[in-house]
């Protein structure tokens, strides 16, 4: 696990926190551009946007702001987005007192604590105050435009082969939306889990500083170099890093960020690698802009 010489890109590792933030923001913005604005850049088509979203599947379920009852409400909101999109009935985006009462009763929520479960939905741009007097809240346009087209799978029949894929995309979109908006708004509680940061650090360590390209083969020596950097150079306790590393690899395998094993390492998803290259470029542009200002 610990090696003597670091051969990975040390600059990328030293700046990985900032580059990870830029990459998360790039991910959300590129997906939003494709799905809601039909503008293509790093992502060439809608299918690539959905593939990238699926790489973040289930992340929201491990978010510090979202526990079981928060997720119950969020799931009901996502289903509502699908129905509103399917029927072009935008009144469904509005939340009445009756709906709030149903949430309280269905999800066994103490009415006095309802705001505790609603607050994250405001913090992360999922709900807002209603602009109509007969309703209390409204699902935001940003969340609806992102979720509606995919949440159709919840209200229309799909094949058994398609349904798991669509559910993976729904979960991934909700996850990257929450993590991305939290990063964009600089929410005080960390919104990027350590295992996700580690997954991204393993990727970023393959950066070629001359070409700004990332090696899509996560070689074993690169894994060892990243481990050495965090344990030896950054001083993280070995047992803590073992836990983070195991969670990171489980996440990468489960969400098909690692697409196949090879004799000398692992092949990473091309769209995952490309969005990290975009994150690096954005960070470099921000650095250069800052230096011109001082």
CA distance 39 to 32: 9
CA distances from 169 to 42, 175, 224, 233 (A): 18, 10, 32, 37
Please give the residue range of the domain that contains residue 79: 64-184
Question: Which of 184, 214, 247 is a domain's end point?
Answer: 184
Tokens of 276: 């990290």
What's the mean pLDDT in 21-28? 97
Pair (72, 93) in one structural domain: yes
Helix (H) / strand (E) element for 277: namely helix 270-293
pLDDT of residue 35: 92
What's the mean pLDDT in 158-173? 84
Phi, psi of 22, rounded to the nearest 5 degrees? -60, -35
Are 2 and 232 spatial neighbours (Cβ–Cβ below 8 Å)?
A: yes
The pTM score is 0.91
Is residue 45 in a domain? no
Tokens of 259: 């697409």
Pair (89, 168) in one structural domain: yes
**Which residues, including other chains, have CB under 8 Å from residue 189's CB and lie 6 or more apart?**
64, 65
Question: Which of 159, 184, 209 is a domain's end point?
Answer: 184
CA distance 19 to 73: 32
Pair (148, 168) in one structural domain: yes
pLDDT tens for residues 69-99?
999 999 999 999 999 999 999 999 999 999 9
Tokens of 126: 């999922």
Is residue 206 in a domain? yes
Pair (140, 210) in one structural domain: no
Pair (131, 86) in one structural domain: yes
Pair (265, 231) in one structural domain: yes
CA distance 173 to 191: 15
pLDDT of residue 2: 42
| pLDDT band with cut points at 50, 70 and 90 for residue 294 | low
What's the mean pLDDT in 184-188? 77
- Overall domain count for the chain: 2
| pLDDT band with cut points at 50, 70 and 90 for residue 288 | confident
Is residue 213 in a domain? yes
What's the mean pLDDT in 133-143? 96
Flag whether pLDDT at 189 surpasses 90: no
Question: Which of 145, 160, 184 is a domain's end point?
Answer: 184
- Can you point out the beta strands (E) in the chain? 94-95, 127-129, 137-139, 207-208, 213-214, 217-219, 258-262, 265-268
């Amino acid at each position: 696990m610990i090696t003597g010489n670091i051969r990975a890109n040390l600059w990328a590792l030293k700046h990985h926190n900032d580059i990870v933030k830029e990459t998360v923001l790039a991910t959300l913005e590129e997906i939003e551009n494709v799905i809601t604005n039909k503008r293509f850049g790093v992502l060439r088509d809608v299918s690539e946007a959905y593939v990238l979203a699926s790489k973040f599947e289930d992340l929201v379920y491990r978010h510090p702001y979202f526990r079981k009852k928060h997720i119950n409400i969020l799931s009901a909101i996502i289903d509502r987005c699908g129905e509103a999109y399917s029927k072009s009935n935008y009144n469904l985006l509005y939340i009445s007192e009756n709906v709030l009462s149903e949430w309280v009763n269905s999800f066994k929520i103490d009415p006095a604590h309802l705001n505790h479960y609603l607050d994250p939905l405001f913090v992360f741009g999922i709900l807002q105050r209603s602009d109509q007097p007969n309703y209390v809240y409204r699902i935001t346009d940003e969340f609806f435009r992102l979720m509606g087209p995919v949440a159709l799978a919840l209200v229309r029949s799909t094949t058994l082969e398609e349904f798991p894929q669509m559910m993976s995309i729904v979960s991934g979109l909700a996850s990257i939306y929450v993590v991305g908006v939290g990063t964009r708004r600089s929410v005080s509680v960390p919104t990027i889990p350590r295992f996700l940061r580690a997954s991204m650090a393993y990727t970023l360590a393959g950066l070629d500083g001359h070409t700004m390209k990332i090696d899509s083969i996560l070689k074993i020596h690169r894994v060892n170099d990243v481990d050495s950097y965090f344990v030896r150079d950054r001083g993280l306790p070995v047992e803590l890093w073992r836990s983070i590393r195991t969670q990171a690899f489980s996440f990468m395998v489960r969400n098909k960020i690692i697409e196949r094993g090879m004799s000398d390492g692992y092949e990473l998803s091309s769209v995952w690698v490309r969005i990290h290259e975009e994150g690096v470029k954005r960070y470099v542009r921000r650095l250069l802009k800052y230096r011109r200002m001082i």
